[in-house]
Structure 1
Amino acid sequence: MQINCTVIIQAFNFLITYLFLRKFFFHPTVQLIKQKDTAKKILAEKLKLKELAVSNLVAKKNSDLDAFRYSISQRYQKPEQAVIQIEPNVLSKQEVIVSPEVIEECKNSILKGVHNAL
C-alpha cells in the first residue's frame, strides 16, 4: 500500500489549522468564558452579602420599632374609664321646682362626674 503525498500534506495542514485555532480562537474563548463564570460567582457572593446585610438591617429596624412601640405603650397608657354612678330617685314623681341654683348645681355635678370619668 502506497501512502500518497497529499495525505501527508493534508495531515500537516490539519495540524497547523488545529494549532492555529487552538492558539487564537479556542484558548481566548475558553478564557473569556472562565472570566465570565468567575465574575458571576463574585457577583453572586456580593449579592448574598448584601442580602444578609439588608436582612440584618430589617431585623434591627423591626426590633427598634417593637422597642419604640413598647416604650410608647408604657409611657402613654390608656386611662381607666371610671364608671359613672347614677343615683336612683334623683327625680321623684313629685313635681320639682326648678330654680337657677338647682340647674347650676346639676350642671356642676354633671361636669364633675365627666371630669372624674376622664
Structure 2
Amino acid sequence: MNSLLEVRSGPAYYACRANVLDTLDAKLSKGNIGKVLIIHGEKSWKAAQPFFPSLKNIETTFFTYSGECSDSEIERVQKAALELGVDASAAVSCSTSPNRLETRFIRISSSFQLWLPPVLHGHL
C-alpha cells in the first residue's frame, strides 16, 4: 500500500463549560494561530453571533457557506482559506468536512453530536 491513511479519532482538545467561547482567543494564540477563517451557515451564525467573542489577538475573516457539504462547496471554502493564508479554519455548527481542508480545523458547536453539550473542540 503506497497511500497514506490518516485517522483522527476525535478532537485533540475538548472543553465544556459556561462561557467556553471566552477562552477561544487564548486557545488560538497558544496554538500559534494568528489568522483564522470562521466558516458558518446563515442559521448557525444567527444563533452563535450573540455569544461569539471578540478575537482581539486573532485576525478573523467570516465566511458564509452555502449550507451543503458538497465537493464544490468544500473547494470554495478551501480556496478562500488558501487565498487568505489562514493558520486555521473554524466551523460554527456546520458540516464542512475538516479532513478536506488543508488548514488546522476547529469546530465550534452546540449540536455536533446529539449526546454532547455545547462545546469547543478541534485539532489545534
Asked if these proteins are the same fold (TM beyond 0.5), I'd say no
TM-score normalized by structure 2?
0.17
The structure richer in strand per residue is 2
Tell me which structure has the larger Cα radius of gyration: 1
Structure whose residues are more often helix by fraction: 1
TM-score (norm: length of structure 1): 0.18
